[in-house]
Amino acid sequence: MHYTTKNPYFCKLKYYALMSQKENISQMSLRPLDNEPVGARVKVARVQGGGAFRQRLLEMGFVRGADITVIKNAPLLDPVEYMILGSHISLRRVEAARVMVVDADVELPETVGGLMYNGTTQTVLDEQDPMADNVLRVALVGNPNCGKTSLFNYVTGAREKVGNYGGVTVDSKEGSFVIDGQRIELVDLPGTYSLTEYSPEEMYVRTYLRDKHPDAILNIVDAGNMERNLYLTTQIMDMNIPMVIALNMWDEFEKSGDRLDIEAMSRLLGASIIPITARDGRGVDRVLQACYQAIEESEHKTTHKNVNYGPTVESAISQLETLRPDLNRYTLLKIIENDRHALELLDTADNGTQIKQQADQLREKIQREYNDDIVTIVSDLKYGFVRGALAEVLTTNSNKDKKQLGYALDVVLTNRWLGLPVLFLLMWVVFQSTFTLGAYPQQWIEDGVTWLGQWVDSVMPAGVLRDLLVDGIIAGVGGVLVFLPNILILFFFISLLEDSGYMARAAFIVDRIMHRIGLHGKSFIPYLIGFGCGVPAIMATRTLENRRDRIITILTVPFMSCSARLPAYLLLVSAFFAANQGLILMSLYLVGIVVAALTAILLSKTLLKHDHTQFVMELPPYRTPTARNAAIHMWSKGSQYLHKMGTVILVASIIVWALGYFPRHEGQTQQEQVENSYMGRMGKAIEPAVRPLGFNWQMGVSVLTGAAAKEIVVSTMGVLYTGETADEESASLKEKLQTVTDEQGNHVFNPIVAYAFMLFILLYFPCIAALTAIKREAGTRWMIFEIIYTTAVAWVVTFIFYQVARLLA
């Protein structure tokens, strides 16, 4: 049918009419989800459009007949939080408009899948002997945020980062454990809703399972959200790899009052099922034993249980199987689904074209029979299998508190009016605590460093080595070491926010802003990680599906002030802004965010033009953060910081000292000596470029050396500002900066210069490690662009600030 009208409203009505006719639903009842009011309960009729995002929605449970409750609008009215299959999902309105719904009480025609547990089929396996291999490998596979890394850390004793939001793990981590004298390698893979290649880290999982073929898969399933989680299980079942299912968060499931017949479910799915609580290790030993047993049994097993999709699809799979008996059912089904990556496997095959033609015919036959598109049919069949199985084994507690305790805090934290103020208040509390709580241990370390310097000075005879130790190593490394407590405190708070589930809410609250600046709401997570360190943040952009989104996020992440810049801020803020420490620090972070936003707008409208990107994110229930995770997080940050002290910062301090010490000239004061040194000459050469920003040559040099690592800005200042007299030498760097004067006797630093210097440190080019990560993830061209762009932005912003502030002062 063809419409000539240009009226979009008319077209829409006609389209709904057509769809209603097809679905056999009353025309008045069918409508898009985006206009539903808060509190509305509706039922999915179908998801419109095509492409990967539609498939993602189907896989997340937006299949016909699924109940949806509209929970709330974000504070800026977009996105909207929906509850589907017991999960809370954040969906932008523009995407929600693709989901067609009807009233909850409307009877929809039965789905293809329905409650179709048709039992399982069996695949005859080739002979294999996994035990012949010295190393047995078990892969951890599951939905995002279902507790894979928590289990991995518990079993292997590793300290990999975990958080109560999806996308924390972006590549594989390997560890091992020993059971019955056999070493088994455990591989932690990124979380994925399905084995469809929607984002790079999902592709990683699929490629890993296909190419590495682990000896067993440990499928982690969130016990509180089995229907959605088991969708992935159906795909794993078809891969013909021995599988054990761990039902995680079993403690929460038991508290909910729901009941599950584990033995029956185990029979239905053809795999061992063990309830566990990964956070405290309950049931973990049993699950490991089950994995080992599954591998041992696979040695003698001749068949593998698969999902039974009913006669039409099963016959199609069998026909393809005769042409390619080497491919597993998962891949064969993907070929029938017209999956690009599965079809690529046929390109090199002799009978590839024949198989593709056969698959096209089979697909058309299935679509004709079920009167729907293949993606919907397969999703329906898989959900039908899962629903059918759960209907037999799961008894839900009808008296359960519908409000869901894990989401009770959302009444305040994502409230329309309170959401944003609470976000800012939390940020302020974190930054202020970093100063106030950190002040005491910081003073102790500072006293210790000063004492050490004086002691070395007094016990060693005067000479070059003593100068290197006192003015180079102790002043340089000690100047940075004093901020260790502040770093630990900051990361303690970040860990609490991550583990509690608040980070995902923060993304929900600011998503509309992200959308406005042309970014994906998921970019918020790399940005948050960027407050810690740019390198993992750049890696975390792998969770973004669209390459342009990834590039924009990678290029803007360095504006999120990383913890390496913190020592410079802490030093200058405590020296020149004693009254408003928390606010000044927060203002710097906000400037970084604003510059990142403006850069993103600029890039998305010029070099990286693109349409809006789809965004669907799960909002996990709030959980009580554990002391163990907070301690692991703090320890990991602390040890990284100390490691840097002993390597990059130590080396940089030595080199900066040498450049500031040589060549020696007899009869010169300390000040003249430094000015005539190699470093001094270098500094004087770049001074014209930094003078308009209010910086002297020492500050210019500090900024340059900061390229190796941002902490070196402080250690360089510690080396360059050595002081003339014994009193000055023993003063802390903070006191030196407060008193240092230029040739005219004016103070070099004042609040305006200090803030300008912090602005420049915040915005100028990232350290070498971050630049390497950019080169790796985005390419050399974008790395060079980043160096030039960030430095230009830093110079212009600092220049404007300094000149305007000086005029107003």
Partner 1 sequence: MAQTLIALFIVALALCWVLVRLVRTFKGRDNGCNCGCGSRDCPHCPKK
Name which of residues 694 to 723 contact partner 1 (CB under 8 A). Answer: 708
What's the rounded Cα separation, in Å, for the pair 494 and 506? 12
Q: Distance between CA atoms of 142 and 218, rounded to whole angstroms?
A: 8
With tokens 């260790």, the residue in question is 484
Non-local CB neighbours of 641 within 8 Å, separated by 6+ positions: 484, 487, 563
Q: Which is nearer to partner 1, 93 or 776 (CB)?
A: 776
- What are residue 82's DSSP bridge partners? 70, 89
Which of 559, 807, 571, 794 lies closest to 689, judged by CA? 794
- Taking the complex as a whole, the smallest distance from the CB of residue 386 to partner 1 amounts, in Å, to 29
Q: How far is the CB of 465 from partner 1 (least distance, A)?
A: 4
Residue with Cβ nearer partner 1 (49 or 646): 646
Please pick, from the candidates 211, 350, 666, 727, the single residue that binds partner 1 as defined by CB under 8 A: 211
Is residue 658 within the footprint of partner 1 (CB under 8 A)?
A: yes
CA-to-CA distance for 619 and 502, rounded, in angstroms? 9
Amino acid at 174: E
State both tokens at 711. 């902490």
Question: Which among 248, 244, 245 has a CA at the least distance from the CA of 276?
Answer: 248
Instruction: For residues 573 and 585, give the distance between their C-alpha atoms in angstroms, rounded to a whole number.
Output: 7
Contact residue for partner 1 among 213, 365, 466, 684 (CB under 8 A): 466
Q: Does 461 bind partner 1 (CB under 8 A)?
A: yes
Q: Which stretch binds partner 1 (CB under 8 A): 18-26, 83-91, 319-327, 764-772?
A: 764-772
Site for partner 1 (CB under 8 A): which residue of 73, 772, 791, 803?
772
CA 100 to chain centre: 30
Cα angle value 359/363/366 (rounded, 5°): 140
Binding-site member from 425, 465, 642, 796 for partner 1 (CB under 8 A): 465
Q: Which residues contact 274 (CB under 8 A, 6 or more apart)?
A: 244, 245, 246, 247, 283, 286, 287, 290
Q: Least Å distance between CB 168 and partner 1?
A: 15
User: Is the peptide bond prior to 621 cis by the omega test (within 30 degrees of 0)?
Assistant: no
| Closest listed residue to residue 509, CA positions, set 84, 72, 87 | 72
> What is the Cα–Cα distance from 574 to 219, expressed in whole angstroms?
50
Nearer to partner 1, 148 or 515 (CB): 148
207: contact with partner 1 by CB under 8 A: yes
> And the tokens for 6?
């240009």
In whole angstroms, what is the distance from residue 217 CA to residue 272 CA?
Answer: 11
Min dist. Cβ of residue 176 to partner 1 (A): 14
When asked if residue 654 is in the footprint of partner 1 (CB under 8 A), the reply is yes
Residue 203 within binding range of partner 1, rule CB under 8 A? yes
- For residue 657, the minimal CB distance to partner 1 (Å) is 8
Binding to partner 1 by CB under 8 A, coded x per residue (else -) over 385-414, reads ------------------------------
Quote the CA–CA distance of 417 and 422 in Å, as a whole number: 9
What is the nearest approach in angstroms of partner 1 to the Cβ of residue 518? Answer: 23
Residue 456 binds to partner 1 (criterion: CB under 8 A): no
* Closer residue to partner 1, CB minimum distance, 473 or 753: 473
Paired with 123 in beta bridges are 304
What letter would DSSP give residue 277?
A: B
Interior/surface letters 146-181, b for 16+ CB within 10 angstroms, e for the rest: bbbbbbbbbbbebebbbbbbbbbbbebbebbbeeee
Q: Give me the count of residues in the chain.
A: 809
Which range in 390-398, 434-442, 696-704, 766-774 contacts partner 1 by CB under 8 A? 766-774
Taking the mean position of all CA atoms in its chain, how far away is CA 27? 42
Nearer CB in complex with partner 1: 40/658: 658
405-to-89, 397, 502 alpha-carbon distances in Å: 16, 15, 15
Query: 197 vs 410, which CB is nearer to partner 1?
Result: 197
Q: Which is nearer to partner 1, 172 or 433 (CB)?
A: 172
**Contact set for partner 1, span 414-443 (CB under 8 A):** none
Binding span for partner 1 by CB under 8 A among 166-174, 281-289, 555-563, 724-732: 166-174
Task: Kindly state whether residue 777 participates in binding partner 1, applying the rule CB under 8 A.
Answer: yes
Exactly one of 72, 515, 542, 644 binds partner 1 (CB under 8 A); that residue is 542
CB atoms within 10 A of CB 318: 12
Of residues 169 and 698, the one with the C-beta less far from partner 1: 169
Vertex 519, ends 514 and 523: CA angle to 5°? 85
Q: How far is the CB of 163 from partner 1 (least distance, A)?
A: 19
Residue 601's closest CA among 552, 528, 645, 530?
552
| Residues 634-653, interacting with partner 1 (CB under 8 A) | 647, 650-651
Please state, in angstroms and rounded to a whole number, the distance separating the CA atoms of residues 442 and 317.
Answer: 67
CB-wise, 406 or 536, nearer to partner 1?
A: 536
How many other CB atoms are found less than 10 A from the CB of residue 782?
Answer: 17
Alpha helices, DSSP H, located in 406-560 = 410-413, 419-436, 439-459, 464-467, 475-481, 484-500, 502-516, 524-530, 534-540, 547-556
Spatial separation of the C-alpha atoms in residues 170 and 155, rounded to whole Å: 20
Look up residue 714 and give its two tokens.
């402080």
The contact pattern for partner 1, residues 168-197, with x = CB under 8 A and - = no contact, is ---xx-x-----------------------
User: CB–CB of 514/95 below 8 Å?
Assistant: no
Residue 201 CB, nearest approach to partner 1 (Å): 9
Q: CB of 560: closest distance to partner 1 in angstroms? A: 21
Structure tokens at 702: 């500090």
Report how many residues bind partner 1 under the rule CB under 8 A. 31
Residue 323: CB minimum distance to partner 1, A: 27
Positions 521 through 540 that interact with partner 1 (CB under 8 A)? 539
Considering only residues 468, 598, 682, 707, which one is a binding residue for partner 1 as defined by CB under 8 A? Answer: 468
Tell me the window of 36-44, 64-72, 457-465, 680-688 that interacts with partner 1 (CB under 8 A): 457-465
Q: What is the DSSP letter of 648?
A: I
Contacts to partner 1 from residues 14-43, by CB under 8 A: none
Q: Least CB distance from residue 551 to partner 1, whole Å?
A: 12
For the segment 108-147, give every residue that binds partner 1 (CB under 8 A): none
* Closer Cβ to partner 1, 411 or 464, answer by number: 464
Query: Which one of residues 8, 51, 463, 663 is an interface residue with partner 1 (CB under 8 A)?
Result: 463
Q: Judged by CB under 8 A, which of 122, 396, 779, 784 binds partner 1?
A: 779
Residue 475 engages partner 1 in binding (rule: CB under 8 A): no
Q: Nearer to partner 1 by C-beta: 659 or 761?
A: 659
Instruction: Note whether 347 binds partner 1 by CB under 8 A.
Output: no
Please, which residue, 474 or 655, has the CB nearer to partner 1? 655
Min. distance of Cβ 468 from partner 1 in angstroms? Answer: 5
CB contact at 8 A, 508 and 514? no
Residue with Cβ nearer partner 1 (303 or 647): 647
Cis status of the peptide bond prior to 558, with omega within 30 of 0: no
Q: Pick from 11, 425, 464, 590: which binds partner 1 (CB under 8 A)? A: 464
In the block, tokens 């017209």 appear at 338
CB of 212 to partner 1, least distance (A): 9
Does the protein bind partner 1 through residue 663 (CB under 8 A)? no
Q: Applying CB under 8 A, which residues contact partner 1?
A: 171-172, 174, 200, 203-204, 207, 211, 461, 463-468, 539, 542, 647, 650-651, 654-655, 658, 708, 768-769, 772, 776-779
